[in-house]
């Protein structure tokens, strides 16, 4: 029997992680969830660069602070606030669903620290997988079912997109294009603006001042459209703020907590 993945901090959404195998899970099935309550209290969700064009239509795209920065969509501007979901954990409007969400409750993980091999694992606390009478089988005998093969392929594609995303962020850093972000939003009837910090964004001034060869490089390698998708999406922060106001979820302070 395969051993459980080595103890380490679990990614967002995941409460536990075990490897999928035909001995323990031979008769298990997967079924659709009635809601996405596992993400209901999350205001920032990881995003890959492959998704920038689609995600930028619905959400602000920013970059996390810290050394290992990652792109994030903002579903709310404050901790624990998700303006895109209702009280039952369902989307309250048509919107793009990030691959990070669609991947759950599966993911690829190392079973041993001395190996680079990744195995398909899942969160056993979810209601989507179990020894159900109904649902799509995870195994056909001792072999993965076609459904499981599709899940594995999706997780592999997600890992590859994650690698491309890491390269994109590293290139932004090398070019000195990332800076600490700040957005000031003035609410009608409130004297002082709400100021949101705690994220990174592309420095438009430095982008405009790039040398011709640098600009040509990021245009040819596909980075430039992604950068502009990020910059254009920042305008949606005001729409998200308005949704928080409508829902009564804006803190009564003039400087809001960091993202």
Residues 211, 214, 219, 222: is their CA dihedral positive or negative?
A: negative
Strand partners, 29: 130, 137
pLDDT at 188 over 90: no
Of 184, 190, 170, 143, residue with least CA distance to 23: 143
80: exposed, middle or buried (Cβ count in 10 Å: 0-12, 13-18, 19+): exposed
Q: Are 119 and 2 in contact (CB under 8 A)?
A: yes
Give the whole-number percent of the chain exceeding pLDDT 70. 93
Per-residue pLDDT tens for 93-124?
999 999 999 999 999 998 777 777 899 999 99
Each domain of the chain, given as residue ranges in start order, spans 18-247
Question: Please, is 129 exposed, middle or buried when counting C-beta atoms within 10 Å of its C-beta (0-12, 13-18, 19+)?
Answer: buried
Tokens of 105: 């409750």
| pLDDT at residue 3 in the model | 45
Residue pLDDT, tens place only, 1-30? 344 454 568 999 999 999 999 999 999 999
Backbone phi and psi for residue 148, each to the nearest 5 degrees, phi listed first:
-65, -35
pLDDT tens, position by position, 122-164: 999 999 999 998 999 999 999 999 999 999 999 999 999 999 9
Mean pLDDT of the chain: 91
């Amino acid at each position: 029997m395969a051993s459980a993945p080595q103890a380490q901090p679990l990614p967002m959404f995941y409460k536990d992680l075990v490897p999928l195998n035909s001995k323990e899970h031979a008769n298990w099935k997967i079924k659709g969830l009635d809601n996405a309550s596992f993400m209901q209290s999350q205001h920032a969700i990881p995003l890959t660069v492959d998704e920038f064009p689609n995600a930028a239509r619905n959400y602000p795209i920013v970059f996390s602070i810290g050394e290992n920065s990652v792109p994030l969509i903002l579903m709310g501007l404050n901790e624990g606030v998700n303006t895109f979901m209702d009280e039952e954990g369902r989307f309250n409007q048509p919107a793009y669903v990030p691959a990070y969400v669609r991947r759950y409750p599966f993911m690829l993980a190392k079973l041993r620290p001395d190996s680079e091999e990744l195995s398909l694992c899942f969160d056993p606390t979810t209601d989507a997988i179990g020894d159900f009478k109904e649902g799509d089988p995870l195994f056909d005998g001792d072999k993965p079912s076609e459904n499981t093969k599709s899940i594995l392929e999706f997780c592999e594609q997600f890992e590859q997109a994650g690698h491309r995303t890491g390269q994109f962020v590293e290139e932004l850093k090398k070019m000195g294009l990332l800076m600490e972000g700040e957005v000031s939003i003035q609410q009608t009837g409130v004297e002082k603006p709400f100021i949101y910090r705690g994220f990174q964004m592309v420095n438009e001034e430095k982008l405009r001042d790039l040398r011709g060869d640098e600009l040509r490089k990021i245009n040819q390698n596909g980075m430039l459209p992604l950068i502009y998708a990020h910059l254009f999406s920042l305008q949606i922060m005001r729409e998200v703020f308005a949704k928080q106001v409508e829902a009564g979820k804006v803190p009564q302070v003039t400087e809001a907590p960091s993202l």
